[in-house]
Structure 1
């Protein structure tokens, strides 16, 4: 009589994966809380400058929403581990608790994960919309990113539906029913991030080339700094999404740790962009104020004229570049628009 094949133990058991996931997300949430506090401090400092606070409140709404979603998700992660290891007394122990795929905690946390991803992607598309303020036609730039965003929402909705209705004993990376929709969501999110970040960087570099011939070196160097900020911050979150997709592909429960960290990295990357851009703006404004004092003409000095009388001679005022009637005034307007991001 042949015996059924024994089930091979997983390389990374679900209980270990959930504990490691809790540790990783707790650490990432601590970093998120610190970065969010710095971001809020920079925002309150901007309120002291007339007109800047009212322009930046939409970004703070997004940053606060990402922080709240990250806090709720790590709290549910902790609650899930407490239930599994402390209060779950049925046969099967913690493994049964974690492998119940339609558990309400799994459903809610799946919704939170996709909400964070869709919110951060929507904010990225809006940044692109602002950067291309004077591009004609402006709407054409965001058509494809918006379609990718809507497609990701549809796939994420289907994935959440199956998570809530399967009622199987399996983990998410081992359930093949979810795999096509997870892959589609990851793929469209990655394409959106690469495309929109590339469009923003392209616009920044185009502006730097247009302004380098008639604006001082520091000004157009700042546009290159803005491009680097976008690329570095976007790379951090995008890398976590790529690793999550790989973990899903090889059916490894390390998927839980990478996706949980991605929830926090989305907020961290968003906050870092705000902090670094506003810090660059503050430095630029301080430098401009300092130079305005340096460029003031020196006081008049008395000199003898041909008749032997003292005469006050004023040196000519320093020349300044005016954009009021310049043909390149639109480029200056674009730069000011970018500084509001």
Structure 2
């Protein structure tokens, strides 16, 4: 059985409601993670909190728009052609706002991924030069697609050149995701290799960080690639996949924060039980966030060899490795600094 355009719109509403429910659950855990460990409001990562709330608004607004579009087509529209004619008119304000909503969520996801990559490489603009150029090109494609959707009355979403612009936008987004994720993973692998050389008994220190980045990246990349492929094929299944994509961007973003702070909480508990930490909260915080290697060469200091991810300020669990926001510098998130220093004779871990 092949669904009509109206049937796919109803399927869009159903699937988006399911994924929105999943998103709301992850949002609750994410806000709990962002706010739970902060005794001082100044310690809250305002960037991550603002982006989290903004993504929540966009995801919710998209679901409401989908409901209003269906309500208008099936209940209020009384023109010729029925619901199909209502759905074919893609130049209405609700359809345009729906496109803007999808675009805004995608842009937020791309910007945060580039931002994380920028922090991981010690705020190096050279490292993110390619993703930034792609992001600028993506914004141009976004502006063109919105302009064409407004100025072409009842334009089909699968017509050329509108289709070419939309496909280019999706291709750029996928490229940004793949490139930045690869750069972050390369940085983690490089730091992990240095750790293995300095501390012979601690290999795979950043396995948890790798899993977080890979899994969250795969979630979004898989959905985005599938959505782009279905759109290129000219199928009406593009509509429900777009709704899922909006929610999946927020879900992937929340899962990174949830898993990082969960690992941090586990390390804080372990740190507070250690005799040298005195069981105090402040000492536990430091133990969960600072890593110091000591070797014979006092002149060398590896300032930017710790992987950090903006919100990845937490300890990644089992290896006593802490990650602060900013690769050896002090940053906004939790005011935690992390550094790798080479100072004394014997490799050791200072907490």
What TM-score do the two structures reach when normalised by structure 1? 0.81
- What secondary structure does 2:153 align onto? coil
State the Cα RMSD in Å: 2.7
Instruction: Indicate the residue corresponding to 2:70 in structure 1.
Output: 81
Instruction: Indicate the residue corresponding to 1:110 in structure 2.
Output: 99
Q: Does 1:195 align with 2:179?
A: yes
- What secondary structure does 2:57 align onto? helix
Cα offsets for 1:277-321 (capped at 9, x unmatched) = 11112222322332345999xxxxxxxxxxxxxxxxxxxxxxx97
Alignment check: 8 A CA contact 2:216 2:255 kept: yes
Instruction: Indicate the residue corresponding to 2:266 in structure 1.
Output: 283
1:1-341 equivalences in 2 (<5 Å):
11-48=2-39, 53-54=43-44, 56-133=45-122, 138-168=124-154, 170=156, 172=157, 174-215=158-199, 221-293=204-276, 323=294, 329-330=301-302, 334-335=306-307, 339-341=323-325
Aligned pair count reads: 301
Using the alignment, how far apart are the partners of 1:233 and 1:34 within structure 2?
16
Alignment check: 8 A CA contact 1:102 1:166 kept: yes
Question: Aligned pair in 2 of structure 1 residues 211, 332: CA closer, same or farther (>3 Å)?
Answer: farther
Alignment check: 8 A CA contact 2:135 2:172 kept: yes
Specify the structure having the higher radius of gyration (Cα): 1
Question: Aligned pair in 2 of structure 1 residues 212, 80: CA closer, same or farther (>3 Å)?
Answer: same
Using the alignment, how far apart are the partners of 1:321 and 1:146 within structure 2?
33
Using the alignment, how far apart are the partners of 2:245 and 2:229 within structure 1?
14
Question: Could you say which structure has the greater relative contact order, defined with CA pairs below 8 angstroms and 6 or more residues apart?
Answer: 1
Question: Aligned pair in 2 of structure 1 residues 321, 44: CA closer, same or farther (>3 Å)?
Answer: closer
Question: Aligned pair in 2 of structure 1 residues 104, 41: CA closer, same or farther (>3 Å)?
Answer: same
Cα offsets for 1:57-81 (capped at 9, x unmatched) = 2112111111100000100100111
Alignment check: 8 A CA contact 1:133 1:334 kept: no
Question: Aligned pair in 2 of structure 1 residues 40, 199: CA closer, same or farther (>3 Å)?
Answer: same
Shift of 1:225: 1.0
Using the alignment, how far apart are the partners of 2:307 and 2:254 within structure 1?
22
Which runs of no fewer than 5 residues in structure 1 stay unpaired? 1-9, 297-319
Which runs of no fewer than 5 residues in structure 2 stay unpaired? 280-290, 313-322, 326-351
Using the alignment, how far apart are the partners of 2:76 and 2:239 within structure 1?
22
Using the alignment, how far apart are the partners of 1:330 and 1:52 within structure 2?
29
Question: Aligned pair in 2 of structure 1 residues 327, 124: CA closer, same or farther (>3 Å)?
Answer: farther
